[in-house]
Structure 1
Amino acid sequence: MRRIISFLEPSAGKELILPVTPPSYDWTHGNRVETIQLDQLGEINLPGGRLMGSCTLSDVLFPAKLYPFCNPGAVANPYVYLEQLQRWSDSRKPVRWIVSGTPTNALVLLESVTYGERDGTNDVYASISLRQYTAPETPVLAISGGDAQTSRDASTGAASTRTYTVQAGDTLSGICRKFYGDGSLAYRLAAANSKIIKNPNLIYPGQVLTIPPKDQLPAAMQVSASVKTAKATKTVYSKEDKIWKVQLAKEQAAMR
């Protein structure tokens, strides 16, 4: 059975079937092999990353008239095909390349289309270079001591908002040191999470904090009187009087 080679743009529902099946095609599949030299062991090969598939369709005939060997539905106008192929190449969007009756069915980018006439028949012969396409994936970065996720802007690649799940023993200043390298940003991080943090000195395991980029942190939230009092004082137990007393932190330090 004759092979049919076609290109499909799923998003637009467009399909292009080559009017004449090329005499041959090759599809490359494999992995990169890293070769290193080790003292006393010599040369060794290690598996590297995956190589994307590639193919060059050579001597693709776009006929100026219909021959008996043309595929059903062929059009006797070479430039109808060439214009569509060039539009796909210029758009830099992937299309699906399919060879009927084989496992070959890959998302590809049209790297180049080279064409010309040869024998005065107005037939056009073309060479079409294809490279396999794989959509880039957003990395997820795990941070020790909690669950953290990093997302990036698809157009700029810039870091955007992350999230962090508070663990037992965490403090806002410690979290700021972990993400920003600066514990003094604790109150600004609290302001970024004002819906769930009312007191910057009190966070609880299981809370999911928003971690904006450092340059997007809001101004520090206004510290309430109760928080100021809590920071400036400490409750201690008097064994002599057998009661709890509130002392200023600096007074307590002087007594030590």
Structure 2
Amino acid sequence: MEFWLTQGTDSLHLPVPPDSYAIKRALNNSSVVVESIGEVSFIGKPKLAEIPPITSFFPVRYYNFCQYRSFPTPKSCTDLIEKWMATGKPIRFFITGTSINLTCTIEDFEHGEQDGTGDVYFTLTLKEYKTITLGG
């Protein structure tokens, strides 16, 4: 499995894949109480998919668990994600070998060093993005 983020012609293949991934899907269901019947449920339309925080790190050097060798520097990776955030446009998030291929907004991006190696650890939170089209 490879984890990818893209926007336009820019792409980032995460050098160190997260330990796990998940996608949360839900519906906008509601219920009302109807006299003489009781509570009645209504099935709603789908909510936007939520991707729980993705945590990993951008390595400063190659480790045997990295997915490839010629990866960008940690600064290049964080600068690219921050650039994407500044555009006000969604990104694409996909994981090879799965059905996950979503247009997303970057909800939160936190990064920093932890252990003096120069590796930059990060947490990235994404949420599905839908383009609104009028008419039909």
TM-score, normalization: structure 1? 0.50
Does residue 120 of the first structure (1) align with residue 103 of the second (2)?
Answer: no
Q: Give the distance between the partners of 2:60 and 2:120, measured in 1 at CA.
A: 7
**Cα RMSD for the two superposed structures:** 1.6
Larger Rg: 1
Paired residue type of 1:50: P
Cα displacement (A) at 1:55 = 0.7
Aligned-pair identity in percent equals 25
Count matched residues: 136
CA contact (8 A) 1:89 1:112 kept: no
User: Which blocks of at least 5 consecutive residues in structure 1 are unaligned?
Assistant: 141-256
User: If each structure's helix is expressed as a fraction of its own residues, which one has the higher value?
Assistant: 1
Deviation, 1:76, is 6.0
Are residues 96 and 58 of structure 1, via their aligned partners in 2, closer, same or farther at CA, if it must alter by over 3 Å?
closer
Report deviation, 1:63.
Answer: 1.0
Aligned with residue 27 of structure 1, among 23, 27, 31: 23
Q: Counterpart of 1:147?
A: none
Deviations 1:169-216 (A, max 9, x none): xxxxxxxxxxxxxxxxxxxxxxxxxxxxxxxxxxxxxxxxxxxxxxxx
Contact 1:96–1:105, Cα closer than 8 Å, also in 2:
yes
Higher relative contact order (CA 8 A, sep 6+): 2
**Contact (CA 8 Å) 2:59, 2:73: kept in 1 or not?**
yes
1:108 Cα deviation (Å)? 0.9
- 1:97 and 2:93 equivalent? yes
> By how many angstroms is 1:58 displaced?
3.1
Matches within 5 A, 1:74-223: 74-75=70-71, 77-139=73-135
Q: Distance in 1 between matches of 2:125 and 2:70?
A: 22
Alpha-carbon contact 1:95-1:109 (below 8 Å) kept: yes
How far, CA to CA, are the matches of 1:76 and 1:131 in structure 2? Answer: 25
- Name the SS for the 1:83 alignment partner: helix
**Counterparts of 2:115 and 2:40, CA distance in 1:** 52
Matching residue of 1:7? 5
Deviation at 1:75, TM superposition (A): 2.6
**Structure 1 residue 59: Cα displacement:** 2.4
Deviations 1:148-175 (A, max 9, x none): xxxxxxxxxxxxxxxxxxxxxxxxxxxx
Kept in 1: contact 2:24–2:52 (CA 8 A): no
Please report the TM-score for the alignment, with normalisation by the length of structure 2: 0.90
Question: Are the structure 2 counterparts of residues 75 and 35 from structure 1 closer, same or farther at C-alpha, using a change threshold of 3 Å?
Answer: same
In structure 2, distance between residues paired with 1:56 and 1:89: 18
